[in-house]
Amino acid sequence: MKRILLLVIGLIFSAFIIFNLYSSENKSGVGKSFSPTPEVKDVKIVKASFAIFTNNIFRIFSDPKYHFQSKDVYMEEANIIIVKTKGITWDGFFKTLPMKLTKECLTTGTGQVFCTNDSQKLRFFINGKEDVNALAREVNQKDKLLVSFGNKTDEEIKKELQQISTIK
């Protein structure tokens, strides 16, 4: 009877060891031996600049809370953006920041709200030309985006456009 009991215990112990060895090979073996071929991406870095004016106040994005918010599109310095993924729109960029911007309203990172109304308007310009759909446009190399809120003359808009950094 002792021999049978020892034999059963030995079989159970052997089965336990074999099971654990087999399980650990399946868990770690696949990960160690399998290495997928990395996908090579043709990354073309795009740099662009922008300016936001609200009632003639130039908004400078120098606060670190606006920088490096996404690996695909980000700011390294105030008002200059770097795009590393094809297809990023201006809207996509602004959505990475702690603020909100739509065709009608701008909500700043400090909670100030500027919406188009009877006397003031939120306007968008890309490369000097007014574009109501600017947020939907893909960011291109050396683009200059102006977002301007207020009751502005053409001369005031021209002065704001001149304050947008030029990418070299």
28-67 tens-digit pLDDT: 444 444 444 444 455 688 999 999 999 999 988 766 656 6
DSSP-assigned states of every residue in 81-144? EEE-STT-BHHHHHTTSSSEE-SSEEE-TT--EEE--SS-EEEEEETTEE-TTGGGSBP-TT-E
Same domain, 85 and 128: yes
**91 shares its domain with 8:** no
Could you tell me the two tokens for 17?
A: 């060891």
pLDDT of residue 152: 94
Q: Are residues 157 and 119 in the same domain?
A: yes
Q: Whole domain around residue 13: which residue ranges?
A: 1-35
Number of domains making up the chain: 2
In a domain, 79, yes or no: yes
Same domain, 59 and 125: yes
User: Edge-to-edge strands of the sheet including 113-115?
Assistant: 100-101, 105-107, 113-115
CB-CB contact of 149 with 55 (8 Å): yes
Half-sphere exposure of 163 (CA within 13 A, CB side): 19
Check whether 25 has a pLDDT greater than 50.
no
Of residues 152, 44, 151, 147, the one with CA closest to residue 103:
147
Q: How far apart are CA 123 and CA 80, in angstroms?
A: 20
What letter represents residue 45's amino acid? I
Residue 40 lies in a domain: no
Residue 84 sits in the same domain as residue 142: yes
30 and 75 housed in the same domain: no
Task: Note whether 61 and 142 are same-domain residues.
Answer: yes
Please name the amino acid found at residue 18: I
In angstroms, the CA 58 to CA 79 distance is 11
Say how far apart CA 127 and CA 82 lie, in whole Å: 17
Residues 93-150: tens digit of each pLDDT? 889 888 899 999 999 988 999 999 999 999 999 999 999 999 999 999 999 999 999 9
Let me know if residue 65 belongs to a domain. yes
CATH number, domain with residue 60: 2.170.130
User: Does any domain span residue 168?
Assistant: no
Tell me the C-alpha distance between 64 and 75, whole Å: 9
